[in-house]
Amino acid sequence: MKEDLRLEEDVIAAWVRLTGILKNTRLTKGMNYNEATVMLLAFRRFEEDGEGLVSFKEIVAETNMLKSLVNRTIDSLVKKGFLIRSDGADRRTTFVRPVKEKLPEYLEVHRHTLDMVGQLVEIIGEEDARAFVRIGEKISAAHENK
């Protein structure tokens, strides 16, 4: 029985070590983790459509953050001038979009994150990095289909 659980124990141990490293290595500068996460969603949408309109529901679904935490994070980003609330096609839903003039400031934070992740990719190699992305997407998809 113990041998059957060895892989699961190894996964837990690796997960704990990795999250400890990531928690203690500040991936974002000038923004907290939740702010950087919400900004990443808005920025990626902006890259897709030039507007960046993201609904509150999408942010909750994509980040798995509590609604109250998403509200506080959006409030903080609005106060800092990175996001503005916008009306969308559905007035029952809250939408936000990035402030274009603040995107260079966000991109500076994002560049720092990309540099750190680039170092991680160098450590594990491109093949394992792509496998990591596939695994993350597989886990996310399974979680969404629950």
User: Stretch 3-16: mean pLDDT, rounded?
Assistant: 80
Pick the CATH number of 3-144 from 3.30.930.10, 1.10.10.10, 3.20.20.70, 3.40.50.2300: 1.10.10.10
What is residue 1's predicted lDDT score, i.e. its pLDDT?
47
Whether this prediction's pTM lies above 0.85 is answered by no
Q: Averaged over 12-33, what is the pLDDT?
A: 73
Above 50 in pLDDT, residue 3? yes
User: Which of 25-34, 83-92, 98-107 shows the highest mean pLDDT?
Assistant: 98-107
What's the whole-number average pLDDT of the chain?
A: 85
Percent of the chain with pLDDT over 90: 45
pLDDT higher at 38 or 89:
38
Euclidean distance between CA atoms 39 and 28, whole angstroms: 11
Note whether 52 and 46 are within 8 A (CB): yes
Q: Which residue has the higher pLDDT, 2 or 31?
A: 31
Sheet (strand 54-55) strand order: 54-55, 95-98, 83-86
Specify the long-range contacts of residues 83-89, CB closer than 8 Å, at least 24 apart: 83/38, 83/39, 83/42, 86/53, 88/53, 88/55
Confidence at residue 90, expressed as pLDDT on a 0 to 100 scale: 64
48-102, pLDDT tens digit by residue? Answer: 999 999 999 999 988 889 999 999 999 999 999 999 998 766 667 789 999 999 9
